[in-house]
Structure 1
């Protein structure tokens, strides 16, 4: 968490290397009942992505309950909470969007982490009615702080704070001023880069799709206008080549593959798949050259990062599902890892316990050697800890049964991330970010 914070109320100019044509993937997160589902419902309605019969189906007593447009599970509708991540698609004349509505409850933090791992932006909601907005030194809710720290750890490129339900307080301008100051203090202390802080009312639509200059003494763009200005995270085409093998296909005497050799299918994690690319197979260490590159319809062409490809090598080497094809100069595999862990299981992480670790498509056993420290989300200090409880963030040392060729997460979101799975319950236990 070292990014220089930007506490702004207007959009920062998008980086020139971004992709503004592709759909922007963003998530809404924050504490429970902050209005995340209602905000997405408002975006869908105001962008005309909802048909009249859909709107009528979520109306109660003549008024639409916008949250029901995303809370589709029966348990969500019965309890009035979001449990799983709900994805919705909509478009404006300026661009397309993919929204992930992440749950706010602590016990569903794992779902929020999953959604954030592939997001281009995160909209963190803050409910003004839950805070002591009259106080200039008000404290933010713990889940607001936790979700912000998590999306920052996961390297979500753009973080936007939205202060919601300002229509329900007596002095919206004063409330926004105090909450904005609290968010700026927190972002500065945590090293979180913030793209903007926007006052909104998801229920009434203030500053959601259309800007209302002067409301809450705010003169910046609406939330939707801000999202339209953001660019999609560019694929790491210039990074070292990395390719996790997901499926091995065998051909016999086929004209569309070189010499009938096997085709290794997967998604290019970084770099570019091209003919002549030298690769090293991990973990075996064998080397070869890429003889042919196929796209999803078996046309021969170069494939950039983020897209699926089939690779044929110039010689027969031992490659199985779970192996990696890496550039020869990639880091040497190691059995020892120091990593930041977002712990998601109800059972605490304790030294000496073994888990399954998933790296790309490769499963290995991982043992927790020790817990180095735990992050106190209230003081942002590093506290000594013997274990990590549910939803804690900490730093640990792991010992792997087999070596893995990892890179720091700050360098590669694919090579630098692992998932820990409980060996008994098969539950997702933790998200691991290699230091």
Structure 2
């Protein structure tokens, strides 16, 4: 009887796939830009609407994914790695053959709001429609107006790098049933206008949960663990928990700390490295101050997190800490200080730094091994870089100094072992 019940699972998924196919075939229409309503067509040419769309596209950091290094902005070509294979970002300039030139606004709205392409195909969630579904129709229209105003670039899409069964789009039906709930952001009347604006930006255009949440086997996030931190799939960076309350990844951060990081790439609590440095450089540094304050207000309202469980591995890190303290004094203290507080606006603090204390230890390991650059911003045009120590320190020494840093001063994070360092020694910084 138990086995019989299990057989219902694929049957239900098949029925769901057929239902979605029927709905798409009957409800999704391919339209042409040339058949749009004249009033809508005029609005898409309105300079004020285009300027609004430029700002919103910047808030959504669209340019980062849709621009290959050294390529034309928004012309696509960047490869987005996933645990299931590589997905190339498409061209979203108004080229009629390879971009959005022949798309109508309704085509664009369907893609953004329900994750369905112009010809009814299900879109892979590497395109963050799970967050963009919260974007209002008015804001989507402005973004579309901006994208249609861009110079047209003829750049065909690269081939999809997914193998069977992940290259079968109908298989996304089950994924969507589990992890996707379409719907525009709903204003919370119990909260302030600023809080709601911050929630809208974080949950929608900012798509922060796409990185700052743990993903399961099939790449979905737990709706009950929003913004609670997680390892970014295929990139080997850990995006910290964003709660500023007890046991949160940003515990003790003030509103100004959050604003400073998003605007300048660094604050009194730490600096943006890795993927977050790119987000700051291409997106958040350009946000209006009131929007940055709104984001900070929303993040400060996130609830406390459960107290971390004690380390049950039985690993004794005392010897690592002892040798790591010596290495720190020789290699790190000149910049980050004996007390781990760094130098304001120059070298980030390590005491209380969310990137140092995140659960996995990946971020600190990669920073020590490979170094890195904070974001270059209007408020910090010449940031000091972190030099790489991969050629100067052995795996055991790297493990020791990181363990010391994660357990010194007010820090109380777990140890990093030599085997962990070996795993990330040859991983590229980006």
TM-score by length of 2: 0.23
- Whose helix fraction is larger, Structure 1's or Structure 2's? 2
